[in-house]
Structure 1
Amino acid sequence: MARIPILMPKMSMTMTEGEVSSWLTKVGDEIAVGDVVCEVMTDKVDMEVESTAAGTLVEITVESGMVAVGEPIGYLEGEEDGLGLGDLLAPEPEPEPEPEPAAAAAPLPAADTLAPDHSDDHTEWEAVPSQPGPVAAVPRARGLARERGVDLATVTGSGPEGRVTVADVEQVSRPAAPAAPAAPAPAAAAPATAAKPQKDRSAMIRAAVARKMTESAAVPQFTVWRDVLLDEANAVRRQQGVSWTTSLLQAYAAALREVPDLLNRWDATALDGRGAAVPSGPPAVALAVATEGGLLVPVFLEPDARDPRELDAEVKHVVTAAHSGRLDPAYLGVANGSLSNLGGMGVDRFQALVTPPQASVLALGSIKPRPVAVPGGVGLALTLTAGLTVDHRVGDGAHAAGLLDAFVRRLTQA
C-alpha cells in the first residue's frame, strides 16, 4: 500500500496559497474516488477537494490554516496511481503509447462590476479527466446523480471541455421525490460555521485586489469615453431573449477581436528585457461581479463566438456560483480584457483601472432614456456612457477609439 499525499490544489493560474477551512472526513475513514475530503478557501473561491484515489485517510497534517500550493495537507494509504491529490490544473496523465509511433506529449489545458442577473439556477463546473478514471462533475451534480441513480459515465457534459453539470444530470433523469429533510444542525453551531469563512474570504479578496491595483498603478494608462445609443441593441436583445450583461459581453469581445493590438499584453522580459507587446490569444473577458464577500471576476473564453441564449444561461449560472463563493476554477483563468458595470448601482459614468496583464477594461454606466439631438429638435433615446481604459504601452488613442467604434457597431447590428 502506498502513502498518497493530498496536496493543496492550485485553483487558478495566479493562486500561490489557500486556506484549509474544514475537513469533511476524519482519520480512519475509507475514501472512495470522488469523495469530498475537505474544503479549501482562497481569495477567489471556496472549493470542495475531491479524492482522485481510493484508500484510508491516515493523517491530516493541516487541520486548518494557510498552506502553499502543492504542499501536503493530509495523506491517504491506498493504491498509488502516480498522481497526488488535488492539483486541479495539473496536466492529465498520458495514455500508454502504442508500439508503433511514440505518443505525443499531452498539452496543458488552455487557460469593475456587472450587476448580476436574477436567477434561481445554480451550476458549478469541474474539469473532466480524459482516459480512464472517474468522470469529474461538480459536487452538486455528483450528489444529484447518486440520488437519482444516474451513472455519470453515461452523461454527456455540456460544460467547458466536457465537464458534467447539474443541468446535464437533470436532462437524463426525472426529478426524484424530495428526500426527507436532514436533521438540522445545532442552532448555536450554524451561525459560527457560516460567518467565519465569509469574513476571512472577504479579507483575502480585499488583499488580492490591493495587490493587483498596486501593480496597476505602475501601468501608464488612459481612458476614452463615448455615449452609446442602445435602442437598436435593445430590440435585438429582446428578440434574442437575453440580458444586457450577455449583449454587452459579446459586443466587447467582438470589438477586441476587431482590434487585435488590444488583445496583446505587455511583456517586460521580451526583446532581451527591453519589453514588447506580445499576443495573448483570442478574447478572454473577465466579468466583474460584486458579491458580499468581495469582487470576483470569472473569465469567459471567446464569448462573442457563443450562441447568445447559451451564453446567457451560462452567465447566470456563473454569477450565481460567484455569489455562493463556489466559483469553479475553470473560470479563474488569465483574461486579456475586463468588463465592469456599475450602472445597476445608479452610477452613470466611472473610470476603471487596467488589471495587469490585461491591456484594456471597459467601464459601463447606467442604461436609461436620456435627451438626444434629433432632426428638428430634441428626443429621448436609451443610452449608456462607456469608458475604455487602455494600457498605453500596448495601444494608443486610435486603438481605443477603434475598439469603442467596433463595440457600438456590434450593438447596432440587427
Structure 2
Amino acid sequence: MPIAIQMPALSPTMEEGTLAKWLVKVGDKVSSGDIMAEIETDKATMEFEAVDEGTIAHIQVDEGTEGVQVGTIIATLAEEGEDVSDVEPAGGAAPAPTPASSEDKSEAPAEPAKAEPRESAEPARTPAPAASGGDRIVASPLAKRIAEQKGVDLSSLKGSGPNGRIVKADVEGAETGAAAPAPSAAAPTPTSAAAPTEAQDFSIPHEVEKLSSMRKTIARRLTESKQQVPHIYLTVDIRLDALLKLRGELNAALEPQGVKLSVNDLMIKALGKSLEAVPACNVQFAGDTMLKFSRADVSVAVSIPNGLITPIVTDAGSKAVSKISTEMKDLAGRAKEGKLAPEEYQGGTASLSNMGMFGIKQFEAVINPPQGMIMAIGAGDKRPYVVDDALRVASVMSATGSFDHRAIDGADGAQLMKAFKEMIEAPLGLVA
C-alpha cells in the first residue's frame, strides 16, 4: 500500500515551511534514516529523514515551493514489492502549491490549479477601486499591481476570473500605456510605505530579493514586539578594566585546555547571575498571568547570513565561564551552518545582544517576545572616568536594558542594571 510522506513539523511552533531541496528523485529507494529533503523553517534549514522504507513513486511538491503547510502530502512512497508505475499519488492527484515567482510575493496558501492559482482569494482589507461611473472593479491584488506598473486602466478590461474578476493574464494581455484614471481630490488613494510604487522604484536602480522564511519571521515578530510591548530603556556606564585583567589571567590559565574566553562569554555569565540576583526581571508577561523562572537561560544574538538567531545558554548563572565559552563556540558555529535543533534556539528567559565588536557605542535592542528583557552591550573604549574621586582614563562600555514594562517595573529593571554593573566591575564573583 502506498505511503504518504507529509510535510513534517520540525519545531513545536512550525505551521508551514519551504521545501528548499529534494535529495531524492522518483525511482530512488530509501531506507529509514536516509536524508530525503532540506526544509527551510523560520529559523533554519533542516534535513528531513525518511521514516519508512520503499521507492519514491511521486514527488508532489516541487523544490523551492514556499508556504507548504505542515501535514501536506509532499511525496508518495511505494512499499517493497509494489510497481512504481502502478502507484497513484497519495491523497489524489491535486497539484502542489505553486512555487512563488518574483512577481507574486503573497504568503497566502496556494489554491488548486483550476483557473487562477494563488489569486482566488482577495484579502478583505484591500478595497477594490471604483470605476468612474461608481461601479466596483473586482481585481486580484497582483492584477492591480501589474496594472499600475504598466499604466493600464482596469475599468477598460473585462475579467476572465470567477464572477468577472480581473486577473493577472487579463492585465498582461492588455494594451500598455492607457493610464489609469487619476484619483480625485475627494477620494485620494493612499500609498503604502511598505510597498513603494513602481514610479518610485523606476528612479533608482534596484534588485528585487525575495524574503527568506527567517527574514519574514524576524519582521513579523519584531513588529509585534514594538507595537504590543511597552519598552522601557535603562542605560549604565560600566568600567571594564578589572574584567579585562581577569579575562587575561583566566585565558593564560585555560590555554592548555584549548579554551579562550571572550568578553561576551563573561557578559553572558554576568547577565545570568544578575537575573538570579533580581528574579523580578527573570519573568515573562502572559496575559492575565506572569511566568517566573527559577533559572536564567540566556538567548544570545548571533548574526548569520540570512538574518539573526538566538541560541540559548541554559542555566547561564550557574555554569562555569569555560563551559559557557565552549558551548557558545559550538552553538554559534552550528547556527551559521543552519544546524541548530529547535530546542537550542527556542525558549530562553532573557536575551543578550553584543554589538561592541562593530564599534557601536550604545543602542537599544528590541525585546525578543515573549521574553521580558534584553541586554544591549556597546563597545568598550577609553574614556575620562571618575575613579576614587579622581578623574582618570578608564575602559568603559555602555549597557542598555530593554524591559517589558507590563511585567517589569522601572525600579526592578534598575536593580538588574545595578547588579550587572557590579558583576562586571568586581568580576571575581563570575568565577566563584
- For normalisation by structure 2, the TM-score amounts to 0.62
The corresponding residue for 1:379 is 392
Specify the alignment match of 2:8 in structure 1: 9
Partners of 2:248 and 2:50 in 1: how far apart?
A: 44
- Is 1:220 equivalent to 2:233 in the alignment? no
String of CA shifts for 1:379-410, please: whole Å, max 9, x gaps: 22222101001111111112111111222233
Q: 1:17-49 deviations in whole A, cap 9, x for unaligned? A: 110011111122221232111011123111111
Counterpart of 2:364 in 1: which secondary structure? coil
Q: Is the 8 A contact 2:16 2:69 kept in 1?
A: yes
State how 1:92-171 maps to structure 2 within 5 Å. Answer: none
Counterparts of 1:279-358 in structure 2, within 5 Å, are 279-280=292-293, 282-358=295-371
Whose RCO is larger (CA < 8 A, sep 6+)?
1
**Matched residues in 2 for 1:299 and 1:73: separation?**
32
Partners of 1:63 and 1:352 lie apart in 2 by 39
Shift in Å at residue 58 of structure 1? 2.9
> What corresponds to 2:215 in structure 1?
206
In structure 1, the residue corresponding to 2:328 is in which secondary structure? helix
Find the aligned partners of 1:279 and 1:261 in 2 and give their Cα distance.
8
What SS is found at the alignment partner of 1:386?
A: strand
Q: 1:350 to 1:72 in 2, by over 3 A?
A: same
Alignment correspondent of 1:238: 248
1:363-388: CA deviation from partner (whole Å, max 9, x where unpaired): 11002222211346322222210100
Distance 1:238-1:51 versus aligned 2 partners, 3 A rule: farther
**Structure 1: how far apart are the matches of 2:419 and 2:78?**
58
Question: For residues 6 and 262 of structure 1, do their structure 2 counterparts lie closer, same or farther at Cα, with a shift above 3 Å needed?
Answer: farther
Determine the structure 1 residue equivalent to 2:379: 366
**C-alpha deviations, 1:102-147, integer Å up to 9, x for none?**
xxxxxxxxxxxxxxxxxxxxxxxxxxxxxxxxxxxxxxxxxxxxxx
Q: Tell me the residue number matched to 2:427.
A: 413
Q: Does 1:34 align with 2:48?
A: no
Work out whether 1:393 is the aligned partner of 2:406: yes
Provide closer, same or farther for how the CA distance between residues 51 and 311 of structure 1 changes in structure 2, counting only shifts above 3 A: farther
On the 8 A contact 2:22/2:36 being kept in 1, the answer is yes
Q: What residue is the counterpart of 1:20 in the other structure?
A: 19
Q: How far apart, CA to CA, are the structure 1 residues paired with 2:324 and 2:283?
A: 25
SS at match of 2:385: strand
- Contact 2:283/2:291, CA 8 A, preserved across alignment: yes
In structure 2, the CA distance between the partners of 1:279 and 1:368, relative to structure 1 (3 Å rule), is same
Distance 1:214 1:339 in 2: 19
1:251 aligns with 2:270: yes
Gaps of 5+ in 1: 80-198, 269-274
Per-residue CA deviations over 1:173-224 (Å, capped at 9, x if unaligned) read xxxxxxxxxxxxxxxxxxxxxxxxxx65x53333212211222121112011
Identify the residue that residue 57 of structure 1 maps to in structure 2: 56
Contact 1:240 1:309 in 2 (8 A): no
Q: Which moved more, 1:252-261 or 1:358-367?
A: 252-261
SS at match of 1:315: helix
Whether the 8 Å CA contact 1:12–1:332 is kept in 2: the answer is no
**Contact conserved, 1:37 with 1:48, CA < 8 A, in 2?**
yes
Cα distance change of structure 1 residues 13 and 253 upon mapping to structure 2, 3 Å threshold: farther
Report the TM-score when normalising by structure 1: 0.64
Partners of 2:12 and 2:298 in 1: CA distance: 15
Residue-pair matches, total: 287
| Cα distance in structure 2, aligned partners of 1:243 and 1:346 | 16
Q: Distance in 2 between matches of 1:284 and 1:45?
A: 21
What amino acid is the match of 2:224? E
Matches of 2:230 and 2:364 in 1, distance apart?
A: 14
Question: Which SS does the other structure have where 1:303 is aligned?
Answer: coil
**Maintained 8 Å contact 1:240/1:308:** no
Q: Kindly tell me: are residues 221 and 69 of structure 1, through their superposed partners in 2, closer, same or farther at Cα, counting changes over 3 Å? A: same
TM superposition shift of 1:321 = 2.2
Structure 2 residue runs without a partner (length 5+): 81-208, 252-260
Rg: which structure is higher?
2
Counterpart of 1:263 (choices 265, 282, 298) is: 282
**Counterpart of 2:401 in 1: which secondary structure?**
strand
Q: Percent identity?
A: 32
Residues 48 and 336 of structure 1, relative CA distance in 2, 3 Å threshold: same
Q: Distance in 2 between matches of 1:5 and 1:238?
A: 58
Shift in Å at residue 280 of structure 1?
A: 4.6
Indicate if the aligned counterparts of 1:13 and 1:334 stay in contact, CA closer than 8 A: no
- Two-structure CA RMSD over aligned residues (Å): 2.2
**Per-residue CA distance 1:337-368 (angstroms, 9 max, x = gap):** 11111211111011112122110010110022
How many angstroms does 1:281 deviate by?
A: 5.2
SS at match of 2:20: strand
The verdict on how the C-alpha distance between 1:75 and 1:301 changes in structure 2, with shifts beyond 3 A counting, is: farther
Kept in 2, the 8 Å contact 1:13–1:332? The answer is no
